[in-house]
Structures are given as structure tokens and as C-alpha cells.
Chain A
Amino acid sequence: MITVGIDMGAKNIKVVVARNGESIGHSLLLLETDLDRFASARKALGAALDKAGIGEEEVNTVVATGAGKKVVTFAKKEFTVMGCNAKGIIRIYPSVRVVIDVGAEEARCIRLDETGRVVEFAVNEKCAAGAGAFLEAMARAMEVSIEEFARLSLTSTRTIPINAQCAIFAESEVVSLVHGETSQADISKAVHDAMAARVGAMSQRVTTEKDVALIGGVAKSIGFVESLKAVLKEDFLIPQEPEYVTAFGAALLGMEEEEASKEV
């Protein structure tokens, strides 16, 4: 059975094509301003199918998730991001019971059971907001790429405290630091530390249970990962392509859904 999961994120679209629950192709498309979301979704789907080497007619079902899922009118069903995260991560790491997902706009923490069912979850609150978009804005303020920004963080040897709760306050402080004499490395670490503190605090609203995994686009930032390790004080797993876990989970849920409807 071929199922496709489309994760319509705030910043980009992730698509995973799965055959019998194994990923055979995926794509990521940055949302462009001159292409509407529906067309973008179609384009991303096309790219993933190409990678998988199959045609759309071979697909049994397409399902959607993410902030913009409603736009994917050709999806048979939609699922919550929490549900997809849980389903996706348990497939990759069966021992995971808590997954932290840090995307462009939102961060969330989900506790799941051994079947991949969501048991409990938390979402970052307004007064502790800030996810990938915040990191990018800070990188832009320093005029470096996001990867360079993360790399710089690892070279810092100082801890500069900046506001770890309010992204607005933090941004204010970073601007001061940038105009001051603080090194780029130290500023970068401060920003990653602050974000990790916020994500860490949010995940404390969920009962902790081992193993813990980190997914989402921001999981690729080595700067953030190091800072989060220091906050959580325990190891966590990061899948190879962390930004696709949600879409993968959607594809898996789509497969379950198809199988269930066949039994009826």
C-alpha cells in the first residue's frame, strides 16, 4: 500500500511517500510568496513522487497535517500534528515515550504510549514563544546563515544570560549585544540557550518518561541541540531527517486508516 503524508508547516511543506509503512521518497518545499498554498502542496507532492519513482495513480491515499492542512483539499483525511509526531517517532525509535517537536513557528512536547498513541501534550505558550523563526531572525540580525549561526554557538565559551522567557525581550537584548562588544559566538550561544530554556520549560509541563526524542526543522541546528542537552540534562534521540517525522507519521496514520476501512 502506498500512502503519502503532507505536512503543511508554517514555513515549508514536507511530503513523505511510504510503501507499506517504509519511506520511499520525500521532499521539502519552501513556501513561496508567488505560489499559492494549494499549488505548492501539489508541487511538493509531485517532487516526492518523483523521488519515489512512482506515479500519483499508484497512491492509495493522501493525508494531510500541519497548520495549513485545510488547503490540501485532495487529502482523504487530516490528522493532528501531535498524532503524527507520535506515530512517526515510535516507528523510528520504538523506545521513545516523549517527543519534542520544534518547528518554524511552534514547539510542542508530546508524551506517547508504546502504540504511538498521544497520552499528554504541551504547546509553547505565548509568553514563552519562539521557535525556528526566532532563530532565523536572530541569525539575520547578525547577518549570518542559520547554519553558521548554529556553528558559532558551539565555539562560544561564555554564557551570557538573556531573557529566556519572552522572545520580544530577548530580541531586544540581542540587538544591544550586537551593537556592543560581545562576540558573535557568545551572542549566538546566548540565543540558542534562551530558546532551549523555553523549549525545556515547556516540556516540563508534560510528565517525563524515557526515551526522549527531538524532531522538527530546528533539530538540525547543532547549536540548539547542544543548548537543549544542557537544559534537559539527559540524552535524547534525533532521527536522521528530523523535519520529516511528522509527514512520515501522517503517512503511517493514513495507512492504518486505509486498512481499518478495508476491514469494515
Chain B
Amino acid sequence: MVVAIVTRKNVFLKGPIMFNKFKEFYEKRHDYAKDWKKRTGGKVVGYICTYTPEEILYAAGVLPVRILGGHQPQSAGISEPYLFGMYCPFCRDCLAQGLQGKYEYLDGIVIAQSCIHIRQTFFTWRQRIPHEFDYYIPMPINVVQPQSSLPFLRKELEIFKGALENWIGKPISDEDLRRGIEIVNRDRQFMKQVYDLRKRKDPGLTGLEAMYMVVSSQVTDKREHADSIGKLLKSGLSQRELGREASIRLMTVGSENDDVEFVKMVEETLGATIVIEDHCTGSRYFWDEVELMDKDPLTAIAERYIGRIPCPTRDWSPNRKRFQKIIEFIEDFGVQGVILVQQKFCDPHEIDIPALRDVLNKIGIKNYSLEFDITVPVGQFRIRVEAFLETFEAEELF
């Protein structure tokens, strides 16, 4: 329900209208991509993991879109014959979307040497749902020895660029690459500007709205997406109020998370606010930009992917680069509690969890872990999250 209190300043402010555009981008992502193809005559390539260098795809004039799950329980059965039972819900759900023909508009599919479960989805996809173009970029997993991994990645990006050029039938110049970098960076910068607002006492937007904004970046033309954020910022986003108490300031940490039902439950039903997150559908996706300066563009791109906040699969250093970022975020965003959104069977994240909890406990940040599947028992989760939130209130009383 929209409660619009019409004052000079707050005309849009108490209501979801501002982020509706992003919600729509996300919900109608297939229509968007099909429409984009019609409008531009361009090709669309699907990717599953955020290590895919979208800058190069933009340079090629191709639209990269992230393949996401559908959160319907029957997905499990559809993927079953091709997947091992112990593989994560996300990879299972993504494959099911493909097998059901939801992505038939894709002209190609690319991954950048993701985790094993996503690789399986990709392998089955390219075999059983053929597209014009499919490519596996051997993105190095070792990012802690950049001396070794950078030259290797640079070479692999060159080979990838060559394959793209072959496919689209025209060369990709350095100028094109710089343009691609600019397109993606601009979107990143805008998203960071919005995120900055969430540091305040009144974050001005909910975690759900932030999720819509970031995930929609993954499924739209970033030029349009950034424009939309620009409009949002210009229309007084910084004066927008949440319209309620922020209550407990939460951070969610995990892998891919576009579980709208869950986030809604935490914020709308239980009244807490997710002020920041560490997901590849959140900050981890866009936080690091490509620092072009006067470097050769492919090198700059390679550096960005080697140096970005790592997914746990690539976070090998003793004090974990990702943890350092999480601690920084907790400080900067005034986080009081962390919910670990754990995709069932996701090994890399599961390996990190005890260490992460140790770190969080050490700095006095309460945390709670929940195991997610393609669909979640929101009712049961509500009971648990509510109990978790109550532990804060009890402390506040004292």
C-alpha cells in the first residue's frame, strides 16, 4: 500500500514507487531481453557467475544477462537427470530455467570458470540447450598470486575477445573496450552512490529495494540501468525516508541471493532493515571498478577481476580478503547483526562459515545462519529470525 504524504519535499517518499522500475526490470527480465534484441538487433549472452567480464561483452555490442533461478519447487525435478543430488539449489534452478525454454532468446552462454556446481549447469546447458555461441573462460582461481595469474588471465581474455570477434563478425578495438569499461563502471558508480545513503541512520531504502536495484543491473542494459539510477538520485532519493524505524540494522552474507520472499519477511513482516549485504547479487558484484587510467584495457579488466572482492572459491588468503571487506562494511553501515544466507550444499561458502562466525563473534556482531533451497519455508524462517532479532531487543533493554 502506498501512503503518499503530499508535502513539498516528500511527495514520492513514503512508498515503493521509486524502486518499482528495478522491480519490473527484475521480474520481467525475459521480456526485457527479448525487447532489447528487437530494439537494437543485438545479441544477448547469458552468464551465471559474476566473474564474467561483462566489459568485454559490452565492447562487442552484446548484452550480458545473468541467468537466475525461478524459485519454483519443480525446478529440482527438471534438472534432476543431469545433476548430482548434492549440488546447490542455485545451479539446479538455473538449469531448470534453461531446460524449460525460459532462455531460448539467448544467442550465447558464457561462464568464467565458476565454482564446480555452476560449471555443471554450464556443461549440461551447452550440450542440451545449444546456442550459437558458448564459451568457458579459464578465469584463474588463484588471485592471491597476481604476478602469475594476471598474465595468464590477460592472455585468456585476449583469446576470448578473439572468439567473440569471430562470432559477431567484426573486430573489437581498444576503443570499444574502453567504452565497455565505461558502461559497466558508470553503473557501478551509480549503485555505490545509492549504497552510500544506506550508511545513514535512516537508510532511505530497504534491503529489498537495494536487491532489486543490483539484480536488475545483472539483467538489463547497464546504460539504461545507470540512467534509471541517475533519475532516482536526481528525484530526491537522498531525502527519502524509510517511513518507519530502521530498527535492527542487518547485513546478509552469502552467495547468490535473490530470494525476495525471505528478504520481504525480514523487513516488511519483522521490521528489521538490511542496510548492506555481501552477495554476488549485492555489493560483491559491483563494488570494485575497472581502473583504466592509461593502461591497456584488457590488462585493466584482468586486474579488476583478479583484485575484486573475491567469491569464497577464490578467497585463499589467511585472513580472507572478503572478511576484511565485511568488517569494513559492518563499520561503515552501522551493522548490528548478520544473517548468513547459506545455499544448501555450497561448499566454498560452507567452508568459510565457521571462520566468518569466529570473526563476527570476536568483534561482537551477533549472527545467525540459515540454510536455503530453491524455495524456503518462510514461516519457519520467520520464527527463527524473529527469535534472533529479539536477542537484540533484550540487550537494548539492558
| A interface, CB within 8 angstroms of B | 125-128, 161-166, 169, 172-173, 175-177, 179-180, 194, 197-198, 200-202, 204-205, 231
Contacts and interface: CB of A to CB of B under 8 A. Distances in A.
Contacts of A175: 379-380
Contacts of A169: 373, 377
Main secondary structure, interface of B, reads: loop
A200 B86 CA distance: 18
B375 to A, nearest CB: 6
Contact of A163 (B73, B86, B379): B73
Query: Which secondary structure characterizes the binding site on chain A?
Result: helix
Contacts of A127: 85-86
A197 B73 contact: yes
B49 to A, nearest CB: 22
A180 B379 contact: yes
A160 to B, nearest CB: 10
Interface stretch (B33-41, B76-84, B173-181): B76-84
A162 B379 CA distance: 12
Contact of A201 (B76, B373, B380): B76
16 contacts: A125-B85, A127-B86, A128-B76, A128-B80, A161-B72, A163-B374, A164-B74, A165-B73, A165-B77, A169-B377, A173-B377, A177-B379, A197-B77, A200-B77, A204-B77, A205-B81
Interface string B22-33: 000000000000
Given A161-B74, A165-B73, A173-B380, A201 B80 contact: yes
Which are the 7 A-B pairs with shortest beta-carbon distances? A176-B379, A201-B77, A201-B80, A165-B76, A164-B73, A173-B377, A127-B85
Given A163-B373, A166-B373, A198 B77 contact: yes
Contact of B377 (A128, A164, A176, A201): A176
Given A163-B73, A201-B77, A231-B77, 13 more contacts: A128-B85, A161-B74, A161-B375, A163-B76, A163-B373, A164-B76, A165-B73, A165-B77, A166-B344, A169-B377, A179-B379, A202-B80, A205-B80
Contacts of B72: 161
A128 to B, nearest CB: 6
B17 interface: no
